[in-house]
Structure 1
Amino acid sequence: MPTDITPIHVHRRFWSGLALLVVVLIAVGCGKRETAVEAGIRTQTLHIGNRAEPPDLDPQTNNSLVVSFIHEALFEGLVRLANDGATIRPGVAERWEISPDGLRYTFHLRADAAWSNGDLITAPDFVASFERFMNPQLGCEAVNFTYPIVGARDFVEGRITDFGLVGVEATDASTLEIRLRFRAPYFLSVLADKHFVPLHRSSVERFDGWNRRGGAWTKPGNLISNGPFALTEWKPNVVVAVAKNPHYWNAPAVKLNEVHFHPIEDPGTEERAFRSGQLHVTFSLPSSKVAAYMERQAPELHAMPLLQTNFISFMTTRAPFDDARVRQAFSLAIDRDQLLATVLKGQGDVASTYVRSGSGGYELPPFSRYDPATARRLLAEAGYPGGAGFPRQEFTLSSRDEDKLIYAQALQEMWRQTLGVEVQMVPTEFKVWLDVLRNRSFALTTDGWNMTVNDPSEMLALGVTGDPNNDANWSNADYDAAFAAIEQATTDEARRDAIIMCERIIGEEVPYAPVYHSVRNFLLHPSVQGWRGNTLQVIDWTAVSLHE
């Protein structure tokens, strides 16, 4: 059969096609490769810096900001906060009533609230999850949030064992009632916290996780959640990835398809990842870079004052820090103004109080100051004149990043020059530091608290005897009485007086030496829409999207 394609025509077509292929390959090879940010805009996949590797994803036993962003994506409680950090919005509960005396909250669950596997969420799910959160066996650090609830503290501290005596009850499958011991105007905000989310009990129990912290139930393929996203991937020290949850009651409002959380502990590395197109949002920005971004008025730079205090925790049950005069001397030797001006440029504001003044609307008088002469006198009175005979102490750092090292070195030098004492810095990985806190195996450490409720009582609770977050292991009867007066106050004036008394005692006894209140400097790519910084660092994931 005759054909119009001879062997020579075949060869020409082959070589012409090969030449075209080479040109295409060269063009592709020489062309600009799509960055993670660019691909994310195209696919609605947000890449966010998450500071550190999560210890695990158990929302009730984790008490760190590096996990809270992930938890907000995976879980939802009865109510939630808008991205202004203040407005209360319905969550699993579509509506609620509060009794006139403020002691009874009744929540009505929405009929379409479901788990990520399609199971419906019920009021008994919340009761069971609250009981797990208060389980003394787990030792959840944030359990003090439950103490306004009738019987909660007695259950947590083992004085009662019947959870039926705690003021949390499912009156039917879709109605939850919570009874309080005292009026707590901030209580709805408490319920928006990640610790009060429901857990899918059968899946947790399948991996033997109901009566212990974390575990295999928090891994991809095992974790059943109820938030706008579901867990799809977790590569330790690389990424935690979540994808849109089709069973979420408000799924149509979720614009992102995926969020990838990247644990980058070093702010310098994180900043370079942003500049190279690997991140849409950073967790922070190195203090050494803030001035340069400010000078050129970079639109990607955002600064937000936080309800967060960075302080030094002293182990008050171990010499030499069992002596309040030693703790006072260390605090009085800190030149906070110089530290913020020369070391922590743009990273915060001087902390003259433990809780940031203005929190919850309460203006607080200053109690912490720089007074080197008094610092030296107190140390001498404690038996260490000019630092003579003072035992060398390990100064545990909460991370290994450069900013933390520079900050700690400045403190180390202030104590050496003013007091004549030496402390040896011990940088630790974040996960290791959390264990150090739980075991209280430190002498003094960099510490801090990020408030999740805009009320001083949340942070002041850290000084109460036996509180799970009392890292200093401090006990003071006058302080406990002052804190109890906050709860029992019947007027705003009485409550303010009790709050100020707590601050005064901390300023005098110094279990914690406040250093600075944080200002979060971070980088935000212009493609990110709906992101709004707030003092509580809440992310409303239904509001966020990516656009060219």
Structure 2
Amino acid sequence: MPLDGRSLFPWIAGIAILGSIGWALNRGQLPPADFTFINGTEVKSLDPAIVTGQPENRMINALFEGLTSWNPKTLKPEPGVAERWDVSEDLLTYTFHLRKDAKWSDGSPVTAHDFIYSMRRFLDPRTAAEYSYQAWYVKNAKRYSGGGRAVRPGDNVEVELNVDPDSSNALRGELVHGKLVRIEDKSGQELTGEALDKAAADETLKIEDWVFVISTEAGEERFRYADDGAAADNEPAKGERHARQILLDLKEVGMRAIDDHTLEFTLENPTPYFLTLVGFYPLFPVQQKCVETFGSPDWTDVENIVCNGPFKPEFRHLRDRTRVVKNEHYWDRDNVKLNSVDFLAVESSTTALNLYLTGEVDWIYDVPASALRTLMAERPVRDDLNPQPMLNTYFYLLNVKRKPFDDVRVRKALSMAMDRNELTQVLLGAGELPTYSLVPPGLPGYDPPQGPHEDVKEAQRLLAEAGYPNGRGFPEIEILHNTHEGHHAIAQLIRDQWRKNLGISVKTRNEEWATFNASQRQLKYDVSRRGWIGDYADPNTFLDMFVTGGENNCTGWGNAEYDRLIAAAATETDFTKRLELLHQAEAILMDEQPIIPFYNYVSKNMVKPTIRGFYNNIQDTHPLSAIWIDAEEKTPNPFMEGRE
């Protein structure tokens, strides 16, 4: 199928030419990469520990590699840095044997100690990793990342002392090890038992007011939290020492380097998807020497970064592209066919389509809805477009810390006043299916419970019962979304539906990616869009986000019974019983409606017919190490498998 879009979209030609000229000027005399694709927005960071977005996912997966890799077609875990592994009979201990030819891009060996360092850094509360809970399957990992609020008298602890606040490279202070004797509150009273548990759970109580009494080699010492600046400017109280933080001793966490090439993890409970998790980018290793030489965030600069994946960065031009080239030290470099790849930072799906149709790029992951319908209606059927179901849900978050969203009747009214069929069939039209649950359909053994369906009269009744008859007295609310015309179009449609069906005033606001993520985490929104691709094929990857205080919760909502069910599912070894616990938890989530699910995604990739190694899969994950160019199209195109 020719890539020229003029016969398809007369309206696109002028924009396409202008867009192509703009990108050509940006590129200047730069020779083309072997493979070029649209990566969406500018990445927030290349630090695996602190990002959660898909643009970052794609780039980090090219630059780094975990203990396992995911098969590009089936997504099943395969050997990565670990060439093999052993699992104990009780399914609690995983021993990974690292390949001796695994190296960093500077030629130094990748060792088990790199993974221990990276996991500790990932769990460190000061790293503020949004995905830290993905490592809590490891024994005591959750307690380690809980810092001073998670330790209890009798625990072996490590005290991190303060550093010079002007010393950006000293990323971790000196450690003092000991046994925690007691914790005192600001009045000097000892906190014990339930009182300590309650105080630790109360985020309004400042941990800086507590004193941690610890038995160390020097005797019984008293430590109080202080940041580096405060510690430098103020002398500690008599008999006390300042500390950056107090943590459970790392030796209590279920991980150890047996030797340079043998790594052991001990889990809290059997976790059937653990081998998949260690191939998930937040758990990828980073090089300690690089991080500590340049400090954060400078270690991720193109001129500084050291990585261990199939590619390494060559340059980064902001608001244009990042080019990566084959890593000559990668253990499987002979099977990496692409020598260079360009990641284009393009937020507009219309611009992306223009660049694809004019031959500037080889792959785009999104197509504007109106163009997609036209493309799919073409005859003969295009050989570069093949939408497929994904393990992905589009939904809105509701900030329950703000009125009127603290009222479940309002939340349900908003959900019931939406017309999801208009959204999926009229606005989108690529085969997306309306959904009333967070977990997508299709996971073996799991039938997601559904929230309320469309019912405008009931929505109006609920809103009136909440004190807003016909929308009177209801405050103007705002829908927040990241910058993208597709999200904007959805927000406009939902705004119009709510205005029409509930009589309320709604406006929309867009923010660039990094600011948008910060607004969500800080609850600086009324309603905010969210899309979630399952990190692994299990309901838990969607449901454990919404435990009380969860890093990716971002709604302010919490429910003790929901938390109990998620925790119980984590320890349940019976497959059927475990799914029933998760089902009960999701039923609570859908009944209390802190989120409003809209639809389940389909992939919208357009891929040049000459591309091989690109497979449709439920997580829309496409490792660049598997991709190659078949210029003469002599082999079957795997992307088109399953096309009806």
TM-score by length of 1: 0.90
Query: Does residue 398 in structure 1 map to residue 485 in structure 2?
Result: no
Cα deviation, residue 300, structure 1: 1.1
| Aligned equivalent of 2:79 | 90
Verify the 8 A CA contact 1:309 1:450 in the aligned structure 2: yes
Matched letter for residue 374 of structure 2: A
Verify the 8 A CA contact 1:360 1:454 in the aligned structure 2: no
In 1, Cα distance between the equivalents of 2:124 and 2:495? 40
Query: Does residue 294 in structure 1 map to residue 376 in structure 2?
Result: yes
Query: Does residue 118 in structure 1 map to residue 136 in structure 2?
Result: no
| Aligned equivalent of 1:11 | none
| Aligned equivalent of 1:373 | 457
After TM superposition, which residue ranges in structure 1, 4 or more long, deviate above 6 angstroms?
none
Matched letter for residue 155 of structure 1: Y
In 1, Cα distance between the equivalents of 2:251 and 2:96? 18
Instruction: Pick from 426, 435, 445 the counterpart of residue 351 of structure 1.
Output: 435
Cα deviation, residue 183, structure 1: 1.1
Instruction: Pick from 142, 147, 156 the counterpart of residue 131 of structure 2.
Output: 142
Query: Does residue 524 in structure 1 map to residue 513 in structure 2?
Result: no
Within a 5 Å distance, the mapping from 1:477-496 to structure 2 comes to 477-496=560-579
Instruction: Pick from 325, 344, 367 the counterpart of residue 243 of structure 1.
Output: 325
Secondary structure class of the residue paired with 2:373: helix
Instruction: Pick from 406, 420, 432 the counterpart of residue 515 of structure 2.
Output: 432
TM-score by length of 2: 0.76
| Aligned equivalent of 2:284 | 197
| Aligned equivalent of 2:596 | 513
| Aligned equivalent of 1:475 | 558
CA offsets per residue over residues 468-522 of structure 1, 9 Å max, x none? 0011121111111111121122311211111111111111101111001111212
| Aligned equivalent of 2:359 | 277
| Aligned equivalent of 1:206 | 293
In 1, Cα distance between the equivalents of 2:251 and 2:400? 37
CA offsets per residue over residues 398-450 of structure 1, 9 Å max, x none? 22x22222111110011111111111101222222111112221111111212
In 1, Cα distance between the equivalents of 2:376 and 2:565? 43
Query: Does residue 256 in structure 1 map to residue 338 in structure 2?
Result: yes
Residues 82/306 of structure 1: CA separation in 2 closer, same or farther (3 Å cut):
same
In 2, Cα distance between the equivalents of 1:203 and 1:342? 51
Verify the 8 A CA contact 2:445 2:579 in the aligned structure 1: no
CA offsets per residue over residues 365-391 of structure 1, 9 Å max, x none? 433411212211111111111111001
Matched letter for residue 567 of structure 2: A
| Percent identical | 33
Secondary structure class of the residue paired with 2:487: helix
Secondary structure class of the residue paired with 1:418: helix
Secondary structure class of the residue paired with 1:144: helix
| Aligned equivalent of 1:384 | 468
In 2, Cα distance between the equivalents of 1:528 and 1:391? 51
In 2, Cα distance between the equivalents of 1:121 and 1:522? 34
Verify the 8 A CA contact 2:408 2:592 in the aligned structure 1: yes
Cα deviation, residue 533, structure 1: 1.9
Matched letter for residue 465 of structure 2: E
In 1, Cα distance between the equivalents of 2:398 and 2:37? 34
In 1, Cα distance between the equivalents of 2:90 and 2:407? 44
Instruction: Pick from 259, 263, 277 the counterpart of residue 172 of structure 1.
Output: 259
Q: Name whichever of 154-163 and 176-185 sits farther off.
A: 154-163
In 1, Cα distance between the equivalents of 2:550 and 2:377? 44
Secondary structure class of the residue paired with 1:56: coil
Q: Name whichever of 158-167 and 140-149 sits farther off.
A: 158-167
Verify the 8 A CA contact 2:392 2:533 in the aligned structure 1: yes
Query: Does residue 184 in structure 1 map to residue 266 in structure 2?
Result: no
Verify the 8 A CA contact 1:72 1:539 in the aligned structure 2: no
In 2, Cα distance between the equivalents of 1:347 and 1:485? 36
| Aligned equivalent of 2:88 | 99
Verify the 8 A CA contact 1:93 1:108 in the aligned structure 2: yes
CA offsets per residue over residues 234-253 of structure 1, 9 Å max, x none? 11110011000010000000
Matched letter for residue 269 of structure 2: F
Cα deviation, residue 295, structure 1: 1.2
CA offsets per residue over residues 188-238 of structure 1, 9 Å max, x none? 1111100111101111111222xxxxx111111201000000011111110
In 2, Cα distance between the equivalents of 1:43 and 1:457? 42
In 1, Cα distance between the equivalents of 2:625 and 2:510? 38
Instruction: Pick from 214, 234, 243 the counterpart of residue 316 of structure 2.
Output: 234
Matched letter for residue 342 of structure 2: H
CA offsets per residue over residues 244-285 of structure 1, 9 Å max, x none? 001000000000001100011110110000011110000211
Within a 5 Å distance, the mapping from 1:66-77 to structure 2 comes to 66-77=55-66
In 2, Cα distance between the equivalents of 1:368 and 1:516? 14
Secondary structure class of the residue paired with 1:482: helix
Secondary structure class of the residue paired with 1:424: strand
Verify the 8 A CA contact 1:291 1:346 in the aligned structure 2: yes
Cα deviation, residue 85, structure 1: 4.3
Verify the 8 A CA contact 2:603 2:620 in the aligned structure 1: no
Cα deviation, residue 43, structure 1: 7.3
Cα deviation, residue 532, structure 1: 0.8
Matched letter for residue 525 of structure 1: K
| Aligned equivalent of 1:320 | 404
Verify the 8 A CA contact 2:62 2:625 in the aligned structure 1: no
Cα deviation, residue 44, structure 1: 6.4
Question: Which runs of no fewer than 5 residues in structure 1 stay unpaired?
Answer: 1-32, 37-41, 210-214
Verify the 8 A CA contact 1:233 1:242 in the aligned structure 2: yes
In 2, Cα distance between the equivalents of 1:417 and 1:479? 34
Query: Does residue 132 in structure 1 map to residue 121 in structure 2?
Result: yes
| Aligned equivalent of 2:413 | 329
Residues 485/244 of structure 1: CA separation in 2 closer, same or farther (3 Å cut):
same
Q: Name whichever of 293-302 and 173-182 sits farther off.
A: 293-302
| Aligned equivalent of 1:500 | 583
More helix by share: 1
